[in-house]
Structure 1
């Protein structure tokens, strides 16, 4: 006869092997958060940067079927319930997409671009401050790189801010 401990272990293994345990845990967390969330307290206004970042993250989460995580992000951040139009987000980010890239979240294309750019530039891509709210920036310092000179003149993409970032498919 199996003990309670053995039954619990077998149940846990079964739920994990079916991929259900992670979904259940995420759903419970989301429901607890929604139950405890104080909707009477207004959310702070979203900056343009946070609105766009949250939308990129939401698109990624929904693409990967992380619906409960996306619902918590929306509730916590004050992101509009209706997703922003993808073309609007791409335009705001100065991104031009290859037609085949439009089936993937923008974040995948951006990551692919930076991975390729990094390889072309010796493994390093220089990032600079976007002017995000100072309260959210913590000890951001450029890494030391003896090859980099005049780094503040270069954007993360290595291009001027007026040139669009072109995304191609091929990542993932």
Structure 2
């Protein structure tokens, strides 16, 4: 009887896991757990060694902070909320996000109806790619 009980408990746990996976909650729980474990490990490292310096990541200057914000906006735009959450935790990013308008102003991008349909990082890359293409076409015209 004990053996049957263990099998039914295992089946129940598998059923719950499958339901959580189908609803998307399992991924969320796993991401939150990873973010929390990362935070705990970082806190533990600091508490064990007061002179600890995290040399693995660059000191977050304004450029790094901007890039992190653009990546977070891109991840969230595409629905990678759990990835964004873990990245934000691991990078020690502020809980309050900069608005799209603030990010546009900082990178010098004008947001309109067309550009608002994409994440800012996509707009920046598209603009850069178009600029390169124009330069290549200009060089081709100048050579001819």
Q: TM-score, normalised by structure 2?
A: 0.59
Write out per-residue CA displacement over residues 50-103 of structure 1, whole angstroms, 9 at most, x where no aligned residue.
Answer: 22210111123344261x543432343243443234233223323222235336
Instruction: Let me know the Cα RMSD of the aligned residues.
Output: 3.5
Give the match for residue 138 of structure 2: none
Structure whose residues are more often helix by fraction: 2
Stretches (4+) displaced over 6 A: none
Distance 1:85 1:108 in 2: 17
1:1-172 matches, cutoff 5 A: 3=7, 4-38=9-43, 44-63=58-77, 64=79, 66=81, 68-102=82-116, 104-110=118-124, 113=126, 157-158=132-133
User: Structure 2, unaligned stretches of length 5 or more?
Assistant: 136-144
| Count of residues in Structure 1 that have an aligned counterpart in Structure 2 | 120
User: Contact between 2:70 and 2:121, CA under 8 Å: does it hold in 1?
Assistant: yes
User: Structure 1, unaligned stretches of length 5 or more?
Assistant: 118-124, 126-154, 161-172
Q: TM-score, normalised by structure 1?
A: 0.51
Bigger shift: 25-34 or 101-110?
Answer: 101-110
Decide which structure has the larger Cα Rg and report it: 2
